[in-house]
Structure 1
Amino acid sequence: MAPLPPVEYAVAVERYLAASGLADGSRRIYRIALHTWAWALADRPAPTGPERRRARPPVLPLARLDHPEAAARLRAAADRRAADTDPRTLNRELSTLRAALTWWRAQGWIDTDPGRGLRPRPLPAPAGDRLSPDRPPTAPARRAPLREQTLWHLLHESGAPVEAVLALDVDDLDLPHRRTRPPARPLHWQSGTARLLPLLLAGRTTGPLFLTDRRAPAGTPAADRCPHTHRARLSYRRAAELFTAHHPGHTLRHLRPPKP
């Protein structure tokens, strides 16, 4: 018999973390981030500094995420944190929340998406931000969603053709060993991709690795549709458009490392 849906937000957090496949250290960091958003949903100020790591989150029902004011409260909390938090840290916490929300919706535990208005914060432009063989554009100055960042890192670190990477499914990945498992094409990646992949998967265990933003149209083959989110596999054309939008005048081919 399937377990009953959780009533409390904190229990839903633990269920999500248990299904994420993250290491213990990463689960601890994710737990702190997700507990921080609970304070916003309870309309209470979140602890800061060392107290934030030790504080027990307020007890509140998971259904609070379906409240009409939930999205506004989360946006307001993100704005408050932006005032005294490094944008990279805040963006990781926003990604963690959006990933959990996506997984909870896929389980049928919540009906709405209160994270729809949460957008990554702009990062400071690094000096000399340009394309070059020794500095690939995997972390552009312009804002880029988690999906794009993960794809670009994986293309650069694996050196694989774009078509091969876009053809990957979630169950092709051997996350602990940073490689694909047979019968998928043999690929290996490094720390940048290893850090981003768990965030991108958000508890998904099957289906295409890289997905479109919208639901798959009728007639999409089952192999190219995510059973959790019902979105389609990202196409080469769309992936190329997204990259060019962030790096005018360049193509995805520039991400492949130069041959020795």
Structure 2
Amino acid sequence: MSQPPPVEYAVAVDRYLAASGLGAGSRRIYRIALGTWAWALADRPAPTGPDRRRAEPPVLPLALLDHPDCAARLRAAVDRRAADTDPRTLNRELSTLRAATAWWRARGWITADPAEGLRPRPLPDPADDSAPLTPERLRALFALRVPLREQLLWHLLHESAAPVETVLALNVDDLDLPHRRTRPPAPALTWQSGTARLLPPHLAGRPTGPLLLTDRRAPVTTPAADRCPHTGRARLSYRRAAELFTAHAPGHTLRQLRPRP
């Protein structure tokens, strides 16, 4: 027996994600994006930064998507988001909304296309996107009250001038802490006082495992090389590291942390 059409927006989101075939990590990202649009539909600003992940979206009827002023609300929300959100992130959120509403329309749960007329935001010039941050912007970034993991990653990227992928691939036992460098066979990196100050409290006695970890325990399918044997958490991914950076530094990318020539 088929299920009746959902009444609440959140239930429609649940059913869409359950049928999407996405992995657990992608479903989480899609859920956050669709939750962001729930705030827009309620005419309320979406939380930003770390609060965005923890906030419970407002409860809404799915029929609100068929309301005549729904498209205008979404356009206004896009304009607000564009002021403090990386255009790539905003475009991904728009794509997620379009995919979900198309799926709901195909099942007759809504009739209108609330995302019609919402256009992707232009991406920045690649040259500007990779230009190193100014000294003033760096000072402001390093002064933010952020978790120790983010402070360490940002300082290490800046002080070592290493690619993001190289830093995320480091393990604890790759580090020569007294000499502020890596040990062979790890890529040869060096760092300065900022990273040296942050490493001991970040490691907290961990002698092995990935240097930078996620906040949650790793799925059972995570390879042993990407799982911390002491905490059970997984190696931090590029996508998550970039997402966290964008939340604190809208409009900038991790690549811009490299030092100026």
- When the two structures are superposed, what TM-score results if normalisation uses the length of structure 2? 0.48
Q: Which has the greater radius of gyration?
A: 2
- When the two structures are superposed, what TM-score results if normalisation uses the length of structure 1? 0.48
